[in-house]
Amino acid sequence: MLILLPPSEGKTRPATGAPLDLETLSFPRLTPTRDQLLRTLVKLCGGNHRRAAEVLGLGPTQADAVTVNARLRNEPAARADEVYTGVLFSALDLASLDTQSRRRADGSLAIASALFGLLRPGDLIPAYRLSGGVTLPRLGTVAGRWRTPLPRVMQESTGDGLLIDLRSGTYTALGKPPAQLADRTATMRVLHEHGGQRKIVSHFNKATKGRIVRGLLESGADPRTVEELHSTLADLGWTIERSGGRLDVIVDEVVAT
């Protein structure tokens, strides 16, 4: 089972730690693209800061991110699951898992990243600023850099198991699951039902997905088909409706964290 998570735009900058070493990251097939993007990002941010901020879509209050990006090769690195601090990761709360569940997380989770492609929770990275929708000078779109290597890595890492793709649209665009995994790929929506109407609430959607992944890890379940995943989540107490490879999680109470 491979579970793809979106990253968080918000990140905690490590205070101490060795600098980034691309050769130590998981999914080594992605190293050449990582190096290419890293070199381009560092060069961009080491030049005209105003231009860099425009390219990266950063506002005046985010100027420090350009300075940090310019020295990414020397910034302290920490575990990816400590650097990413968004709503999904807060709800998932990997640090509080028991030893076996944490081991399952390290082996089954992969975090999407515009800069690194995919990361395991234990990969050591610095805090950086680069979103999946950016177009970099001379390289073009970030998505275009990942569109070929990412599907190959997904297929290799999923093997004959199930791929659970929880990425947002921006990060799905970096590389869609290959056709060979079409029958073994599950996606998920979280719908809030109130007064007979259903709607997606973005913030709550992320928190719910974090809690769902945590429940899967704690249960020790290893569903190998979308149907088995449906049954597993129902057993864990979730209300699930299935349409092909998409699972809709129906909730009637919005709890953000």
Average pLDDT over residues 212-239: 96
Considering the domain boundaries, does residue 65 fall inside one? yes
| Full domain range(s) for residue 149 | 2-251
Which tens digits make up the pLDDT trace of 171-190? Answer: 999 999 999 999 999 999 99
- Which pLDDT does position 13 carry in this prediction? 95
50 pLDDT band, cuts 50/70/90, is: very high
Which tens digits make up the pLDDT trace of 115-149? Answer: 999 999 999 999 999 999 999 999 999 999 999 99
Domains held by the chain: number: 1
Considering the domain boundaries, does residue 190 fall inside one? yes
Which tens digits make up the pLDDT trace of 77-128? Answer: 999 999 999 899 999 999 999 999 999 999 999 999 999 999 999 999 999 9
197 pLDDT band, cuts 50/70/90, is: confident
Which tens digits make up the pLDDT trace of 226-253? Answer: 999 999 999 999 999 999 999 999 987 6
Percent of the chain with pLDDT over 70: 97
Q: What is the residue-averaged pLDDT of the chain?
A: 94
Evaluate the CA torsion angle 79, 85, 86, 88 in order and state its sign. positive
Considering the domain boundaries, does residue 256 fall inside one? no
Considering the domain boundaries, does residue 185 fall inside one? yes
- Which pLDDT does position 255 carry in this prediction? 55
- Which pLDDT does position 178 carry in this prediction? 95
- Which pLDDT does position 200 carry in this prediction? 76
Is the pLDDT at 257 greater than 60? The verdict is: no
